[in-house]
Amino acid sequence: EAKDRGDGGYERYRPGMEARGAENSRRAAALRVALLEDQLVVYFQPVVTLPDGRITGAEALVRWQHPAEGLLGPGAFIEAAEQTGLIVPLGAWVLRAATREAATWPGEQSVSVNVSARQLREPGFPSLVAAALTESGLPARRLTVEITESVAVGGGATMENLRGLRDLGVRLSLDDFGTGASTLTLLATCPVHQIKLDRSFVPDGRPDAIADAVAQMARAFGLEAVAEGVETAEQAARLTRLGYEKAQGFHFARPMPAAELRARLTTTVAVP
Closest approach, Cβ 147 to ligand C2E, in A, equals 10
What is the DSSP track for 39-82? -EEEEEEEEEETTT--EEEEEEEEEEEETTTEEE-GGGTHHHHH
What is the DSSP track for 217-237? HHHHHT-EEEE----SHHHHH
Cα dihedral value 177, 88, 190, 9, nearest 10: 60
Residue 161 or 248: the one with the smaller Cβ distance to Mg ion is: 248
Among 195, 255, 261, 265, binds ligand C2E (CB under 6 A): 255
227 — phi, psi (to 5°)? -115, 140
Among 41, 231, 260, 262, binds ligand C2E (CB under 6 A): 231
Could you tell me which residues come within 8 angstroms of residue 266 by beta carbon, excluding any fewer than 6 positions away?
Answer: 106
Among 170, 249, 258, 261, binds ligand C2E (CB under 6 A): 249
Q: Is 79 in the site for Mg ion (CB under 5 A)?
A: no
Residue 122 or 149: the one with the smaller Cβ distance to Mg ion is: 149
Residue 7 or 231: the one with the smaller Cβ distance to ligand C2E is: 231
215 binds, among ligand C2E, Mg ion, none (CB under 5 to 8 A by kind): none
Residue 129: C-alpha distances to residues 51, 150, 201, 212, 269 (Å): 32, 20, 31, 34, 28
- The size of the chain, in residues, is 272
Closest approach, Cβ 233 to ligand C2E, in A, equals 12
Residues 99-118 as x/- pattern, contact with ligand C2E by CB under 6 A: ---------------xxx--
Q: Site residues (CB under 6 A) for ligand C2E?
A: 3, 45, 61-62, 73-75, 78, 87, 91, 94, 114-116, 146, 175-176, 199, 228-231, 248-250, 255
Q: Site residues (CB under 5 A) for Mg ion?
A: 114, 146, 175-176, 228
